Structure 1
């Protein structure tokens, strides 16, 4: 009896320790029944701000499909750099459809599966030949990117060290600079760049076939948010939504049918 009692006590102690180390199993961790989300306010077709209180776009529809039942989402709209700062502070729970970088991964927990593909490409004027087969071909030319954009650790490090690139606030502003001849090329995501070009419609700017990087965009939870516990479940759902074609259909829908914000 004494041996059995000691064994039972030992098993109980091990189980108790496991529960304490995993608050979600014990029911003592903060539950996530609602979350605050945000995004780059000017990044169609993925998402864009509508007024000061909401968003539209492919990411927003995808989010509604990817969240577990019973979890509600409330949007907040801020400038892009402030969105990232507030997520770092834990005041925004989730940021939709952004690229992974080592810097961002310090304070954001990214889904394992992407929300959408979003290779970065070079946009140029048709009348100014600029063949780009590698990053080195951009040397000696004036370039532009949008403020706060990132194209992966390797290219970000390369352009800061080797290229003459200036930042401007928005995709539209950079496309206008390119059209005016103030810069020789503009790097941005293939889909946002094409989206705006389709609506500007001047026919003088094209995207080159060779991508700068073949990156995707992901959902990311603040590491300080109790809702970060949902990351694996949301990731599995994103994978399902890509495999059944839903994500691609949403991307095509917003590329074709919605006006520029």
Structure 2
């Protein structure tokens, strides 16, 4: 009996080692149209703050392999265990069914009110917004209790894209537009259109959201999540993600006039 117990104990002790050997290759993906967190350059490689942050997380003996797919497909592949790691997305109950998220956030993703400089709005006071016309993008949600307040008290128009909303704001067809701060700043920097009034992000944010890294619950690399989380926590403590976001904003290419607003996408991921 003691011999059998010893054998079983030895077999169990090999489990983690075998798992680590099996995870010599980690496949990851991110949203290909989510600047400044991530975008695709030359249709072949990711750029952006998410990629720069991942490059600072070393996993001994593990090769990280990027794959580029439309965001909805990448999430479906992670659900099936075909992608191990997804970068920079919000925690939602539906996603938690098939993804295990880092406890430490990867980046802040505050939601703000954008308005024209010199316009009627100076602050993002919720009560004050009731007097004006706003804009939101189709399918967006904002957290922090703002969604319910918007539905009950605010007058907003829904447009298909961020591009349309910023155009409406510039033309005075709406007085404000609610979006992710960094996503909106990326849009404004990438277009740099001339002849339009300056657009500003108002304070305070309507909600203070965060985005995280997450691993497929079917991934054979899932045991590495605590190590990724530990390294991510230290990088956040050093202020690295905030610095990488600013660097990504500065390095963004200008959008062409034939595709105004690209890269542009929805603020909540």
Shorter-chain TM-score range:
0.7 to 0.9
Alpha-carbon offset, residue 234 of structure 1: 0.6
Is 1:103 aligned with 2:103? no
Aligned to 1:213: 207
Is 1:175 aligned with 2:142? no
Q: Higher helix fraction: Structure 1 or Structure 2?
A: 1
Alpha-carbon offset, residue 241 of structure 1: 1.6
Contact 2:143 2:209 in 1 (8 A): yes
Change in Cα spacing, 1:234 to 1:129, as seen in structure 2 (3 Å) is: same
TM-score norm. by structure 2 comes to: 0.76
Which one of the candidate residues 15, 39, 46 is aligned to 1:48? Answer: 39
Alpha-carbon offset, residue 158 of structure 1: 5.2
Aligned to 1:257: 251
RMSD, matched Cα: 3.2
Aligned to 1:244: 238
Which one of the candidate residues 158, 170, 175 is aligned to 1:166? Answer: 158
Alpha-carbon offset, residue 60 of structure 1: 0.4
Cα distance in structure 2, aligned partners of 1:26 and 1:157: 49
Is 1:225 aligned with 2:219? yes
Alpha-carbon offset, residue 208 of structure 1: 0.6
Cα distance in structure 1, aligned partners of 2:102 and 2:131: 38
177-186 or 225-234: which moved more? 177-186
Pairing 1:28-67 to 2, within 5 Å after superposition: 31-67=22-58
1:37-58 Cα deviation digits (max 9, x unpaired): 2222222221111233321011
Which consecutive unaligned segments of at least 5 residues does structure 1 have? 1-5
Cα distance in structure 1, aligned partners of 2:3 and 2:157: 66
Cα distance in structure 2, aligned partners of 1:87 and 1:165: 34
Which consecutive unaligned segments of at least 5 residues does structure 2 have? 255-262, 264-269
112-121 or 238-247: which moved more? 238-247
Change in Cα spacing, 1:124 to 1:85, as seen in structure 2 (3 Å) is: farther
Cα distance in structure 1, aligned partners of 2:132 and 2:14: 55
